[in-house]
Amino acid sequence: MTPFHHPWGELCLQRWPRRRNETLQAWDNADLYLLNTLAERGQALGNGDNAPKTLVLNDQQGALCLALQQAAASALDIESSGDSYTAAAAARANAVDNGLDPDLLFCWPLDAPKQSPDQVIMRVPKSIALLQWQLQWLSGHLPKGVPIWLAGMDKHLPRQLVPLMQRYLGNGRAEYGWKKARLFSAQAPGRVLADTDYPCRVDALQWRLTVHAGVFAQQQLDIGARFFLDHLPEALHTGAKVADLGCGNGVIGMAALKANPAARVTFCDESWLALESARDNVSRYFPDAESHFHLGDGLAGLEQRFDCILLNPPFHDGHVVGDHVARRLFNQAAAALVPGGELRVIGNRHLGYHKVLARRFTSVTVLASNAKFVVWRCQGPTPSASNLLD
Ligand SMILES: C[S@@+](CC[C@H](N)C(=O)[O-])C[C@H]1O[C@@H](n2cnc3c(N)ncnc32)[C@H](O)[C@@H]1O
Protein backbone atom coordinates (compact mmCIF):
# COMPACT_ATOMS: atom_id res chain seq x y z
CA MET A 1 0.00 0.00 0.00
CA THR A 2 1.52 3.37 -1.04
CA PRO A 3 1.10 5.94 1.72
CA PHE A 4 -0.81 9.04 0.71
CA HIS A 5 1.45 12.02 1.50
CA HIS A 6 -0.59 15.20 1.44
CA PRO A 7 0.22 18.75 2.55
CA TRP A 8 -0.83 18.16 6.17
CA GLY A 9 0.42 14.67 6.81
CA GLU A 10 0.21 11.11 5.66
CA LEU A 11 -2.59 8.56 5.41
CA CYS A 12 -2.66 4.83 4.85
CA LEU A 13 -5.68 4.33 2.64
CA GLN A 14 -7.25 1.12 1.40
CA ARG A 15 -10.18 0.42 -0.82
CA TRP A 16 -13.32 -1.03 0.70
CA PRO A 17 -14.51 -3.74 1.09
CA ARG A 18 -11.02 -4.94 1.89
CA ARG A 19 -9.77 -7.63 -0.52
CA ARG A 20 -6.87 -9.97 -0.22
CA ASN A 21 -4.21 -9.08 -2.81
CA GLU A 22 -5.82 -5.74 -3.66
CA THR A 23 -3.93 -4.11 -6.52
CA LEU A 24 -5.90 -0.89 -6.82
CA GLN A 25 -4.76 2.24 -5.04
CA ALA A 26 -7.26 4.10 -2.85
CA TRP A 27 -6.27 7.61 -3.96
CA ASP A 28 -5.03 9.28 -7.13
CA ASN A 29 -3.28 12.39 -8.36
CA ALA A 30 -6.55 14.30 -8.67
CA ASP A 31 -6.99 14.01 -4.87
CA LEU A 32 -3.42 15.15 -4.32
CA TYR A 33 -3.56 18.00 -6.82
CA LEU A 34 -6.73 19.34 -5.24
CA LEU A 35 -5.28 19.25 -1.72
CA ASN A 36 -1.93 20.74 -2.85
CA THR A 37 -3.76 23.57 -4.56
CA LEU A 38 -5.84 24.34 -1.48
CA ALA A 39 -2.68 24.35 0.62
CA GLU A 40 -0.79 26.61 -1.82
CA ARG A 41 -3.60 29.10 -2.00
CA GLY A 42 -4.03 29.13 1.76
CA GLN A 43 -7.49 27.73 1.43
CA ALA A 44 -6.91 24.73 3.62
CA LEU A 45 -8.42 24.67 7.01
CA GLY A 46 -7.26 27.38 9.35
CA ASN A 47 -7.44 27.47 13.09
CA GLY A 48 -10.29 27.80 15.51
CA ASP A 49 -13.21 30.03 14.62
CA ASN A 50 -11.79 31.06 11.26
CA ALA A 51 -11.53 27.53 9.89
CA PRO A 52 -13.52 27.37 6.68
CA LYS A 53 -16.35 24.86 6.74
CA THR A 54 -15.77 22.49 3.86
CA LEU A 55 -18.24 20.35 1.99
CA VAL A 56 -16.55 17.40 0.24
CA LEU A 57 -18.49 15.72 -2.56
CA ASN A 58 -17.90 12.31 -4.13
CA ASP A 59 -14.77 11.51 -2.14
CA GLN A 60 -13.70 8.08 -3.36
CA GLN A 61 -12.13 6.35 -0.37
CA GLY A 62 -11.73 9.21 2.09
CA ALA A 63 -8.51 10.77 0.72
CA LEU A 64 -10.02 14.25 0.64
CA CYS A 65 -12.08 14.36 3.80
CA LEU A 66 -9.50 12.53 5.92
CA ALA A 67 -6.62 14.74 4.74
CA LEU A 68 -8.71 17.78 5.58
CA GLN A 69 -9.52 16.23 8.92
CA GLN A 70 -5.78 15.98 9.60
CA ALA A 71 -5.42 19.66 8.71
CA ALA A 72 -8.44 20.91 10.59
CA ALA A 73 -8.73 22.21 14.09
CA SER A 74 -12.02 20.31 14.33
CA ALA A 75 -13.38 17.38 12.32
CA LEU A 76 -16.76 19.06 12.61
CA ASP A 77 -15.68 21.61 10.00
CA ILE A 78 -15.88 18.96 7.30
CA GLU A 79 -18.95 17.36 5.80
CA SER A 80 -18.69 14.63 3.21
CA SER A 81 -21.45 13.58 0.88
CA GLY A 82 -21.96 11.41 -2.16
CA ASP A 83 -24.23 8.82 -3.65
CA SER A 84 -22.16 5.73 -2.90
CA TYR A 85 -22.52 3.69 0.27
CA THR A 86 -19.25 1.88 -0.42
CA ALA A 87 -17.34 5.16 -0.79
CA ALA A 88 -18.69 6.33 2.57
CA ALA A 89 -17.87 2.98 4.16
CA ALA A 90 -14.34 3.21 2.75
CA ALA A 91 -13.86 6.65 4.27
CA ARG A 92 -15.10 5.41 7.65
CA ALA A 93 -12.86 2.33 7.62
CA ASN A 94 -9.86 4.44 6.59
CA ALA A 95 -10.65 6.97 9.32
CA VAL A 96 -10.51 4.20 11.93
CA ASP A 97 -7.25 2.82 10.50
CA ASN A 98 -5.66 6.25 10.68
CA GLY A 99 -6.91 7.15 14.15
CA LEU A 100 -9.33 9.76 12.81
CA ASP A 101 -13.00 10.39 13.48
CA PRO A 102 -15.14 7.86 11.58
CA ASP A 103 -18.32 9.75 12.39
CA LEU A 104 -17.73 12.19 9.62
CA LEU A 105 -20.92 13.92 8.74
CA PHE A 106 -22.17 11.99 5.79
CA CYS A 107 -25.29 13.47 4.30
CA TRP A 108 -26.94 11.24 1.74
CA PRO A 109 -26.54 12.84 -0.97
CA LEU A 110 -26.75 16.53 -0.25
CA ASP A 111 -30.10 16.37 1.47
CA ALA A 112 -29.23 18.29 4.54
CA PRO A 113 -25.69 19.45 5.19
CA LYS A 114 -25.65 20.48 8.80
CA GLN A 115 -23.76 23.69 8.12
CA SER A 116 -23.44 26.17 5.32
CA PRO A 117 -20.02 25.50 3.76
CA ASP A 118 -17.41 28.20 3.09
CA GLN A 119 -15.92 26.10 0.30
CA VAL A 120 -16.79 22.99 -1.67
CA ILE A 121 -14.32 20.50 -3.05
CA MET A 122 -15.57 17.72 -5.25
CA ARG A 123 -14.42 14.83 -7.37
CA VAL A 124 -16.16 14.94 -10.72
CA PRO A 125 -18.59 12.01 -10.59
CA LYS A 126 -18.61 9.38 -13.31
CA SER A 127 -22.21 10.10 -14.16
CA ILE A 128 -22.83 13.36 -16.01
CA ALA A 129 -26.41 13.26 -14.77
CA LEU A 130 -25.21 13.17 -11.17
CA LEU A 131 -22.76 15.98 -11.93
CA GLN A 132 -25.54 18.16 -13.32
CA TRP A 133 -27.79 17.40 -10.39
CA GLN A 134 -25.04 18.21 -7.88
CA LEU A 135 -24.07 21.45 -9.64
CA GLN A 136 -27.68 22.53 -9.67
CA TRP A 137 -28.00 21.64 -6.00
CA LEU A 138 -24.92 23.74 -5.20
CA SER A 139 -26.33 26.69 -7.14
CA GLY A 140 -29.52 26.64 -5.10
CA HIS A 141 -28.02 25.98 -1.66
CA LEU A 142 -24.77 27.92 -1.40
CA PRO A 143 -24.49 31.64 -0.75
CA LYS A 144 -23.19 33.66 -3.68
CA GLY A 145 -19.41 33.57 -4.07
CA VAL A 146 -18.63 30.32 -2.21
CA PRO A 147 -15.63 28.77 -4.02
CA ILE A 148 -16.21 25.41 -5.66
CA TRP A 149 -13.26 23.21 -6.72
CA LEU A 150 -13.67 20.18 -8.93
CA ALA A 151 -10.99 17.61 -9.70
CA GLY A 152 -10.63 14.49 -11.78
CA MET A 153 -8.18 12.42 -13.78
CA ASP A 154 -7.96 13.57 -17.42
CA LYS A 155 -9.11 10.21 -18.77
CA HIS A 156 -12.33 10.37 -16.73
CA LEU A 157 -13.36 13.97 -17.30
CA PRO A 158 -16.40 14.72 -19.45
CA ARG A 159 -15.69 17.05 -22.36
CA GLN A 160 -18.66 19.22 -21.51
CA LEU A 161 -17.53 19.91 -17.93
CA VAL A 162 -16.80 23.63 -18.32
CA PRO A 163 -19.99 24.28 -20.34
CA LEU A 164 -21.95 22.47 -17.60
CA MET A 165 -20.32 24.61 -14.93
CA GLN A 166 -21.21 27.70 -16.96
CA ARG A 167 -24.76 26.48 -17.31
CA TYR A 168 -25.44 25.64 -13.67
CA LEU A 169 -23.05 28.00 -11.88
CA GLY A 170 -22.82 30.85 -14.41
CA ASN A 171 -19.02 30.61 -14.35
CA GLY A 172 -16.22 28.08 -14.22
CA ARG A 173 -12.84 27.42 -15.75
CA ALA A 174 -10.19 24.78 -16.15
CA GLU A 175 -7.00 25.28 -14.15
CA TYR A 176 -3.63 23.79 -15.10
CA GLY A 177 -3.20 20.06 -15.33
CA TRP A 178 -0.73 18.07 -13.22
CA LYS A 179 0.31 14.45 -13.68
CA LYS A 180 -2.77 13.56 -15.73
CA ALA A 181 -5.08 15.24 -13.21
CA ARG A 182 -6.98 18.47 -13.71
CA LEU A 183 -8.69 21.06 -11.55
CA PHE A 184 -11.63 23.30 -12.28
CA SER A 185 -12.80 26.27 -10.26
CA ALA A 186 -16.00 28.24 -9.97
CA GLN A 187 -18.00 30.29 -7.53
CA ALA A 188 -21.53 29.66 -6.39
CA PRO A 189 -24.01 31.95 -8.15
CA GLY A 190 -26.32 32.20 -5.11
CA ARG A 191 -29.39 31.13 -7.05
CA VAL A 192 -30.58 28.39 -9.38
CA LEU A 193 -29.70 29.31 -12.97
CA ALA A 194 -30.91 26.23 -14.88
CA ASP A 195 -33.16 23.24 -14.36
CA THR A 196 -32.07 19.65 -14.75
CA ASP A 197 -34.03 16.81 -16.35
CA TYR A 198 -33.80 14.70 -13.19
CA PRO A 199 -35.42 12.58 -12.07
CA CYS A 200 -36.09 11.04 -15.49
CA ARG A 201 -39.16 9.02 -16.44
CA VAL A 202 -38.56 5.63 -18.05
CA ASP A 203 -41.32 3.43 -19.46
CA ALA A 204 -41.05 -0.25 -18.55
CA LEU A 205 -43.79 -2.90 -18.69
CA GLN A 206 -46.90 -0.92 -17.81
CA TRP A 207 -45.07 1.48 -15.52
CA ARG A 208 -43.60 4.92 -15.87
CA LEU A 209 -40.57 4.67 -13.61
CA THR A 210 -38.89 7.47 -11.71
CA VAL A 211 -35.12 7.30 -12.18
CA HIS A 212 -33.02 9.71 -10.17
CA ALA A 213 -29.83 11.31 -11.46
CA GLY A 214 -26.95 8.92 -12.05
CA VAL A 215 -28.97 5.74 -11.54
CA PHE A 216 -28.32 2.88 -13.98
CA ALA A 217 -30.35 2.96 -17.23
CA GLN A 218 -31.22 6.62 -17.03
CA GLN A 219 -32.92 7.04 -20.38
CA GLN A 220 -34.49 3.66 -21.08
CA LEU A 221 -34.81 0.16 -19.73
CA ASP A 222 -31.48 -1.68 -19.95
CA ILE A 223 -31.47 -4.34 -22.69
CA GLY A 224 -30.19 -6.94 -20.25
CA ALA A 225 -32.95 -6.07 -17.80
CA ARG A 226 -35.49 -6.38 -20.62
CA PHE A 227 -34.31 -9.92 -21.38
CA PHE A 228 -34.19 -10.78 -17.68
CA LEU A 229 -37.82 -9.62 -17.25
CA ASP A 230 -38.91 -12.39 -19.62
CA HIS A 231 -37.23 -15.04 -17.49
CA LEU A 232 -38.12 -14.27 -13.91
CA PRO A 233 -39.64 -16.87 -11.56
CA GLU A 234 -43.39 -16.93 -11.91
CA ALA A 235 -44.83 -19.11 -9.20
CA LEU A 236 -43.18 -18.40 -5.90
CA HIS A 237 -44.94 -19.61 -2.77
CA THR A 238 -47.08 -17.18 -0.77
CA GLY A 239 -44.91 -14.94 1.36
CA ALA A 240 -41.72 -15.96 -0.48
CA LYS A 241 -38.78 -13.78 0.41
CA VAL A 242 -37.15 -12.25 -2.63
CA ALA A 243 -34.12 -9.97 -2.96
CA ASP A 244 -33.66 -7.60 -5.89
CA LEU A 245 -29.88 -7.37 -5.54
CA GLY A 246 -28.45 -4.24 -7.18
CA CYS A 247 -31.99 -3.04 -7.75
CA GLY A 248 -31.32 0.25 -9.60
CA ASN A 249 -34.78 1.71 -10.28
CA GLY A 250 -36.41 -1.46 -8.87
CA VAL A 251 -37.89 -2.78 -12.11
CA ILE A 252 -36.78 -6.40 -11.58
CA GLY A 253 -38.18 -6.67 -8.06
CA MET A 254 -41.38 -4.95 -9.17
CA ALA A 255 -41.84 -7.51 -11.94
CA ALA A 256 -41.39 -10.26 -9.33
CA LEU A 257 -44.04 -8.55 -7.24
CA LYS A 258 -46.38 -8.29 -10.19
CA ALA A 259 -46.11 -12.05 -10.80
CA ASN A 260 -46.18 -12.89 -7.08
CA PRO A 261 -48.18 -10.21 -5.25
CA ALA A 262 -47.75 -11.95 -1.90
CA ALA A 263 -43.95 -12.01 -2.16
CA ARG A 264 -41.87 -9.95 0.24
CA VAL A 265 -39.23 -8.16 -1.76
CA THR A 266 -36.10 -6.54 -0.35
CA PHE A 267 -34.59 -3.98 -2.73
CA CYS A 268 -30.83 -3.60 -2.25
CA ASP A 269 -28.38 -1.14 -3.75
CA GLU A 270 -25.25 0.71 -2.76
CA SER A 271 -26.47 3.88 -4.49
CA TRP A 272 -28.70 6.04 -2.37
CA LEU A 273 -30.36 7.55 -5.45
CA ALA A 274 -31.02 4.09 -6.90
CA LEU A 275 -32.73 3.04 -3.70
CA GLU A 276 -34.75 6.28 -3.66
CA SER A 277 -35.85 5.54 -7.24
CA ALA A 278 -36.94 2.02 -6.27
CA ARG A 279 -38.73 3.33 -3.19
CA ASP A 280 -40.64 5.91 -5.26
CA ASN A 281 -41.62 3.32 -7.88
CA VAL A 282 -42.67 0.59 -5.45
CA SER A 283 -44.72 2.97 -3.33
CA ARG A 284 -46.51 4.25 -6.44
CA TYR A 285 -47.30 0.91 -8.07
CA PHE A 286 -47.31 -1.53 -5.15
CA PRO A 287 -48.40 0.53 -2.14
CA ASP A 288 -49.67 -2.52 -0.25
CA ALA A 289 -46.70 -4.80 -0.83
CA GLU A 290 -44.45 -5.75 2.06
CA SER A 291 -41.21 -4.33 0.70
CA HIS A 292 -37.93 -3.40 2.32
CA PHE A 293 -35.10 -1.20 1.13
CA HIS A 294 -31.48 -1.87 2.02
CA LEU A 295 -28.68 0.62 1.38
CA GLY A 296 -25.40 -1.25 1.68
CA ASP A 297 -22.83 -3.44 0.04
CA GLY A 298 -25.16 -6.02 -1.47
CA LEU A 299 -26.73 -8.24 1.18
CA ALA A 300 -24.07 -7.49 3.81
CA GLY A 301 -25.70 -6.56 7.09
CA LEU A 302 -29.00 -8.35 6.38
CA GLU A 303 -29.90 -11.20 8.74
CA GLN A 304 -32.66 -12.42 6.48
CA ARG A 305 -32.44 -15.51 4.23
CA PHE A 306 -34.11 -15.51 0.81
CA ASP A 307 -36.06 -17.99 -1.27
CA CYS A 308 -35.04 -16.21 -4.42
CA ILE A 309 -32.37 -13.65 -5.24
CA LEU A 310 -32.57 -11.76 -8.54
CA LEU A 311 -29.42 -10.18 -9.88
CA ASN A 312 -28.42 -8.15 -12.92
CA PRO A 313 -24.89 -7.52 -11.65
CA PRO A 314 -22.77 -4.40 -12.03
CA PHE A 315 -19.73 -4.71 -14.29
CA HIS A 316 -17.83 -1.78 -12.87
CA ASP A 317 -16.96 -0.22 -9.57
CA GLY A 318 -16.81 3.51 -10.18
CA HIS A 319 -14.30 3.91 -13.00
CA VAL A 320 -12.86 0.43 -12.48
CA VAL A 321 -14.31 -2.14 -14.90
CA GLY A 322 -14.32 -5.77 -13.74
CA ASP A 323 -16.29 -8.59 -12.24
CA HIS A 324 -15.05 -8.27 -8.66
CA VAL A 325 -18.29 -6.73 -7.39
CA ALA A 326 -20.36 -9.35 -9.22
CA ARG A 327 -18.30 -12.12 -7.64
CA ARG A 328 -18.78 -10.60 -4.20
CA LEU A 329 -22.55 -10.47 -4.79
CA PHE A 330 -22.53 -14.12 -5.95
CA ASN A 331 -20.76 -15.09 -2.71
CA GLN A 332 -23.25 -13.15 -0.63
CA ALA A 333 -26.15 -14.71 -2.51
CA ALA A 334 -24.77 -18.21 -1.95
CA ALA A 335 -24.67 -17.52 1.78
CA ALA A 336 -28.09 -15.88 1.96
CA LEU A 337 -30.33 -18.51 0.31
CA VAL A 338 -32.64 -20.78 2.29
CA PRO A 339 -32.12 -24.51 1.54
CA GLY A 340 -33.67 -25.07 -1.89
CA GLY A 341 -33.58 -21.37 -2.71
CA GLU A 342 -32.24 -20.01 -5.98
CA LEU A 343 -30.12 -17.19 -7.34
CA ARG A 344 -31.38 -16.12 -10.73
CA VAL A 345 -28.79 -14.06 -12.53
CA ILE A 346 -28.32 -12.52 -15.94
CA GLY A 347 -24.90 -11.91 -17.44
CA ASN A 348 -23.33 -10.73 -20.61
CA ARG A 349 -22.37 -13.83 -22.54
CA HIS A 350 -18.72 -12.74 -22.99
CA LEU A 351 -18.17 -12.26 -19.26
CA GLY A 352 -18.14 -16.02 -18.68
CA TYR A 353 -19.98 -15.98 -15.35
CA HIS A 354 -20.84 -19.64 -15.75
CA LYS A 355 -17.48 -20.81 -14.39
CA VAL A 356 -17.57 -18.31 -11.57
CA LEU A 357 -21.07 -19.43 -10.58
CA ALA A 358 -20.20 -23.13 -10.85
CA ARG A 359 -17.57 -22.70 -8.12
CA ARG A 360 -20.25 -21.35 -5.80
CA PHE A 361 -23.32 -23.46 -6.64
CA THR A 362 -23.70 -27.21 -7.23
CA SER A 363 -26.43 -26.66 -9.84
CA VAL A 364 -26.10 -23.92 -12.47
CA THR A 365 -28.69 -24.18 -15.25
CA VAL A 366 -29.02 -22.03 -18.35
CA LEU A 367 -32.67 -20.95 -18.48
CA ALA A 368 -32.44 -18.71 -21.52
CA SER A 369 -29.89 -17.10 -23.77
CA ASN A 370 -29.64 -14.88 -26.81
CA ALA A 371 -26.72 -13.44 -28.78
CA LYS A 372 -25.78 -11.14 -25.92
CA PHE A 373 -27.10 -12.47 -22.61
CA VAL A 374 -27.51 -15.64 -20.58
CA VAL A 375 -29.92 -16.20 -17.67
CA TRP A 376 -28.90 -18.81 -15.09
CA ARG A 377 -30.65 -20.51 -12.21
CA CYS A 378 -28.16 -21.32 -9.44
CA GLN A 379 -29.00 -23.63 -6.56
CA GLY A 380 -27.20 -25.51 -3.82
CA PRO A 381 -24.38 -23.32 -2.57
CA THR A 382 -21.11 -25.28 -2.44
CA PRO A 383 -19.60 -25.67 1.06
CA SER A 384 -16.63 -23.56 0.00
CA ALA A 385 -18.74 -20.74 -1.49
CA SER A 386 -18.35 -18.41 1.48
CA ASN A 387 -14.56 -18.88 1.55
CA LEU A 388 -13.97 -17.96 -2.07
CA LEU A 389 -12.07 -14.81 -2.82
CA ASP A 390 -14.32 -12.03 -4.01
C1 LIG B 1 -26.51 -3.50 -13.91
S2 LIG B 1 -27.27 -2.47 -12.71
C3 LIG B 1 -28.86 -3.30 -12.56
C4 LIG B 1 -29.96 -2.36 -12.10
C5 LIG B 1 -31.37 -2.97 -12.18
N6 LIG B 1 -31.46 -4.16 -11.38
C7 LIG B 1 -31.72 -3.25 -13.61
O8 LIG B 1 -31.68 -4.44 -13.99
O9 LIG B 1 -32.03 -2.31 -14.36
C10 LIG B 1 -26.40 -2.92 -11.24
C11 LIG B 1 -26.82 -2.18 -9.98
O12 LIG B 1 -25.99 -2.68 -8.91
C13 LIG B 1 -25.72 -1.62 -8.03
N14 LIG B 1 -24.51 -1.95 -7.26
C15 LIG B 1 -23.22 -1.78 -7.61
N16 LIG B 1 -22.42 -2.22 -6.62
C17 LIG B 1 -23.22 -2.65 -5.63
C18 LIG B 1 -23.00 -3.21 -4.34
N19 LIG B 1 -21.75 -3.41 -3.88
N20 LIG B 1 -24.06 -3.52 -3.58
C21 LIG B 1 -25.32 -3.33 -4.04
N22 LIG B 1 -25.59 -2.80 -5.24
C23 LIG B 1 -24.57 -2.48 -6.03
C24 LIG B 1 -25.57 -0.41 -8.95
O25 LIG B 1 -25.76 0.79 -8.22
C26 LIG B 1 -26.67 -0.68 -9.98
O27 LIG B 1 -27.88 -0.09 -9.59
Q: Is residue 194 part of a domain?
A: no
Residue with the nearest Cα to atom 13 of ligand 1? 246
Residue 302 pLDDT > 90, yes or no? yes
Share of the chain above pLDDT 90, in %: 80
> Are 103 and 246 members of one domain?
no
> Are 158 and 282 members of one domain?
no
Of 126, 157, 187, the residue that ends a domain is 187
8 A C-beta contact, residue 148 and residue 120: yes
Instruction: For residue 211, report the distance from its CA to the centre of ligand 1, in Å.
Output: 13
d(CA 204, CA 206): 6
Q: Is residue 32 part of a domain?
A: yes
> 184: which residues sit within 8 A by CB, 6+ positions away?
124, 149, 150, 151, 161, 162, 165, 172, 173, 174, 175
> Are 249 and 324 members of one domain?
yes
Residue 187 pLDDT > 80, yes or no? yes
Residue with the nearest Cα to atom 1 of ligand 1? 314
Task: State the pLDDT at residue 75.
Answer: 61
> Are 13 and 148 members of one domain?
yes
Residue 369 pLDDT > 90, yes or no? yes
Task: State the pLDDT at residue 37.
Answer: 94
For residue 387, name the pLDDT band (cuts at 50, 70, 90): low
Residue with the nearest Cα to atom 14 of ligand 1? 246
Task: State the pLDDT at residue 235.
Answer: 86
Residue 47 pLDDT > 60, yes or no? no
| Ligand 1 lined by 276 (C-beta under 6 Å) | no
Q: Which atom of ligand 1 is nearest to the CA of 221?
A: 9
| Ligand 1 lined by 274 (C-beta under 6 Å) | yes
Q: Is residue 177 part of a domain?
A: yes
Instruction: For residue 164, report the distance from its CA to the centre of ligand 1, in Å.
Output: 27
> Are 346 and 249 members of one domain?
yes
> Are 177 and 261 members of one domain?
no
| Ligand 1 lined by 326 (C-beta under 6 Å) | no
d(CA 366, CA 322): 22
> Are 342 and 378 members of one domain?
yes
Q: Is residue 288 part of a domain?
A: yes
Helix (H, G, I), strand (E, B) or coil at 3: coil
Arithmetic mean of pLDDT, 272-284:
97
Of 164, 187, 210, the residue that ends a domain is 187
When the pLDDT of each residue in the chain is averaged and rounded to a whole number, the result is 92
Residue 76 pLDDT > 70, yes or no? no
Residue range 193-224, pLDDT digits in tens = 999 999 999 999 999 999 999 999 999 999 99
Residue range 79-111, pLDDT digits in tens = 899 999 999 999 999 999 999 988 876 766 766
> Are 114 and 221 members of one domain?
no
Instruction: For residue 321, report the distance from its CA to the centre of ligand 1, in Å.
Output: 14
> Are 134 and 218 members of one domain?
no
DSSP per residue over 101-148, as a string?
A: -S--EEEGGGS--SS--SEEEEEPPS-HHHHHHHHHHHHHHSPTT-EE
Residue 123 pLDDT > 80, yes or no? yes
Residue 249 pLDDT > 90, yes or no? yes
Task: State the pLDDT at residue 170.
Answer: 98
How many structural domains compose the chain?
A: 2
Task: State the pLDDT at residue 21.
Answer: 83
Q: Is residue 366 part of a domain?
A: yes
> Are 12 and 140 members of one domain?
yes
**Other Cβ atoms closer than 10 A to 47:** 9
Residue 385 pLDDT > 70, yes or no? no
Question: Looking at residue 358, which CATH number applies to its domain?
Answer: 3.40.50.150
d(CA 322, CA 326): 8
> Are 65 and 175 members of one domain?
yes
Task: State the pLDDT at residue 27.
Answer: 97
Q: Which domain holds residue 156?
A: 4-187
| Ligand 1 lined by 273 (C-beta under 6 Å) | no
| Ligand 1 lined by 325 (C-beta under 6 Å) | yes
DSSP annotation of 52 reads P
The lowest-confidence range among 249-258, 323-332, 344-353, 377-386 is 377-386
| Ligand 1 lined by 94 (C-beta under 6 Å) | no
Task: State the pLDDT at residue 106.
Answer: 74
| Ligand 1 lined by 314 (C-beta under 6 Å) | yes
Arithmetic mean of pLDDT, 144-166:
97
Question: Where is pLDDT greater, at 390 or 184?
Answer: 184
Task: State the pLDDT at residue 383.
Answer: 76
| Ligand 1 lined by 297 (C-beta under 6 Å) | yes
Instruction: For residue 216, report the distance from its CA to the centre of ligand 1, in Å.
Output: 7
Task: State the pLDDT at residue 390.
Answer: 57
Q: Is residue 311 part of a domain?
A: yes
Buried b (16+ CB within 10 A) or exposed e, 70-87: bbbeebbbbbbbbbbbbb
Q: Is residue 193 part of a domain?
A: no
Of 187, 222, 249, the residue that ends a domain is 187
Instruction: For residue 152, give the nearest of 41, 59, 40 by alpha carbon.
Output: 59
Residue range 309-338, pLDDT digits in tens = 999 999 888 888 788 899 999 999 999 999
Q: Which atom of ligand 1 is nearest to the CA of 310?
A: 6
| Ligand 1 lined by 216 (C-beta under 6 Å) | yes
Share of the chain above pLDDT 70, in %: 93
Residue 386 pLDDT > 90, yes or no? no
> Are 252 and 171 members of one domain?
no
Arithmetic mean of pLDDT, 369-375:
97
Task: State the pLDDT at residue 388.
Answer: 60
Q: Is residue 195 part of a domain?
A: no
